[in-house]
Amino acid sequence: MYPAPAEITPPELYARRREFLKTSIGLGLAGAVLPAPTFAAPAQLGNGAKKSPFSTDEAQTPLKHITGYSNFYEFGTDKEDPARHAHQLKTRPWTVRLEGLVRKPVTLDIETILKLAPIEERIYRLRCVEGWSMVIPWLGFPLDALLRQVEPLGNAKYVEFVTALQPENMPGVRSRVLQWPYVEGLRLDEARHPLTLLVLGLYGDLLPSGNGAPLRIAVPWKYGFKSAKSIATIRFVEQEPRSSWMKAAPREYGFYSNVNPDVPHPRWSQAKERRIGEFLKRDTLPFNGYGEQVASLYSGMDLRKHF
C-alpha cells in the first residue's frame, strides 16, 4: 500500500501546493514561468491582471482587515469567525452548476472558470448594511462571461446564487440563524451589468476562504450580503428569488438592497458609514457611488418600496 500524498506531506502544505499547481497550470503559467513547481512561489493570480476603468483610487483596506473582519455566517456570526474556521472549507475539487431556465445546463470546473476570461483587477468600494465600508482590490472578470456559457430561455428574468453547503466544514450551519444553503439573487440585467464581477482573488492572489473562495461575486452598488460567496450553483429563474436574508427578516432586507442613504434599515440609519481604518464617518453615496453606471437600471422604480 502506498501512503496517500496527504500522509507524506502535512495536509495544509499539500493542499496549498496542489492548489498552486492546479492554478498555475490552469493559467498556463507552469511551463512558461517556472521550470519546476516549487512551494516557495505562490500562484499569483494577479500577475498580468488588467487594470479597470471601474477601479477607484481610494486608499485600499489592508488585507488583514479584509480577511479578519468578514461576515460569512456559514463559519459563525462573529466577524472573526471566517478567519478562524474557513480554512476548513474544501475548495478543490470545485464545480459550479449553471442550471434552471437555460437551454442546456452545464457544470464547470473551477480550473475551467479560472481560464474563461482575462483576469482584471477591480478596486471596488464595499458597503456593508451594518454601516461600515472597505476598498478592496478584487481579481476576476465580469460575471457575464460565466453566464454566457449557457443560453437562458426567454422567461429567465432573475439569477439565483447558491452558496456551497459543507456541513462538516462549516461550523456555522449547525445553528439555523439563516436558512441554508445561503441564497442570493439578482435581476438578469443586474447580473449581466459590466460592474458585476465574478471574483476569483484579491490583493493579487487567490481568494482567501473566509472571503468566499474559490469564487464569489462582487456587486459594488448593493449592500455586501448581496454578493454571494463560495458559489456552487447559479440558477436562472422566472420569479424574483427569496434570499436567505429576506426569509430571515422580510421587513429588514429587500430583494434589491441597493446602497441608499435615504432609506434607513430599521436598525441602522444608512446615511453615514465608517470606512474601516478611519475614525470619522463619511456620507454614504447613493448606489455606493456607482450611480452613474447603474442608476438607469432602476429608472421609474420607487426605491423606497423596492428597497
Query: By the criterion CB under 8 A, which residues form the site for other proteins?
Result: 64-65, 68-69, 73, 77, 79-80, 130, 132, 175, 177-178, 248-249, 264, 266-269, 271, 274, 276-277, 279-281
- Across the strands, what pairs with 236? 100, 159
Considering the complex, what minimum distance in angstroms separates the CB of residue 248 from other proteins? 6
Which SS3 state, helix, strand or coil, does residue 127 take? strand
- What is the amino acid identity at position 24? S
- What is the amino acid identity at position 110? I
| Cβ atoms of 192 and 96 closer than 8 Å | no
Q: Whole-angstrom Cα distance, residue 211 to residue 68?
A: 9
Residue with cell 456541513: 167
Task: Closer to other proteins by CB, 64 or 103: give it.
Answer: 64
Considering the complex, what minimum distance in angstroms separates the CB of residue 305 from other proteins? 19
Cell numbers that stand for 115 in this block: 481560464
Considering the complex, what minimum distance in angstroms separates the CB of residue 235 from other proteins? 24
Task: Closer to other proteins by CB, 14 or 132: give it.
Answer: 132
Backbone phi and psi for residue 106, each to the nearest 5 degrees, phi listed first = -135, 155
Task: Closer to other proteins by CB, 13 or 177: give it.
Answer: 177
Considering the complex, what minimum distance in angstroms separates the CB of residue 303 from other proteins? 19
Residue-level length of the chain = 307
Considering the complex, what minimum distance in angstroms separates the CB of residue 43 from other proteins? 26
Task: Closer to other proteins by CB, 235 or 275: give it.
Answer: 275
Side by side, the strands of the sheet bearing 231-237 are 106-109, 95-100, 231-237, 158-163, 183-187
Considering the complex, what minimum distance in angstroms separates the CB of residue 212 from other proteins? 17
Cell numbers that stand for 33 in this block: 514561468
Task: Closer to other proteins by CB, 63 or 117: give it.
Answer: 63
Task: Closer to other proteins by CB, 51 or 267: give it.
Answer: 267
Residue with cell 456552487: 232
Considering the complex, what minimum distance in angstroms separates the CB of residue 130 from other proteins? 8
Considering the complex, what minimum distance in angstroms separates the CB of residue 178 from other proteins? 6
Task: Closer to other proteins by CB, 100 or 137: give it.
Answer: 137
Q: Whole-angstrom Cα distance, residue 229 to residue 67?
A: 13
User: 143 CB contacts (<8 Å, ≥6 apart)?
Assistant: 191, 192, 196, 197, 198, 217
Which SS3 state, helix, strand or coil, does residue 135 take? strand
Q: Whole-angstrom Cα distance, residue 143 to residue 185?
A: 13
DSSP single-letter state for residue 105: -
The per-residue b/e assignment along 140-165, b for 16 or more CB within 10 angstroms, e otherwise, is bbbbeebbebbebeeebebbbbbbbe
Task: Closer to other proteins by CB, 267 or 304: give it.
Answer: 267
Considering the complex, what minimum distance in angstroms separates the CB of residue 29 from other proteins? 33
Task: Closer to other proteins by CB, 103 or 176: give it.
Answer: 176
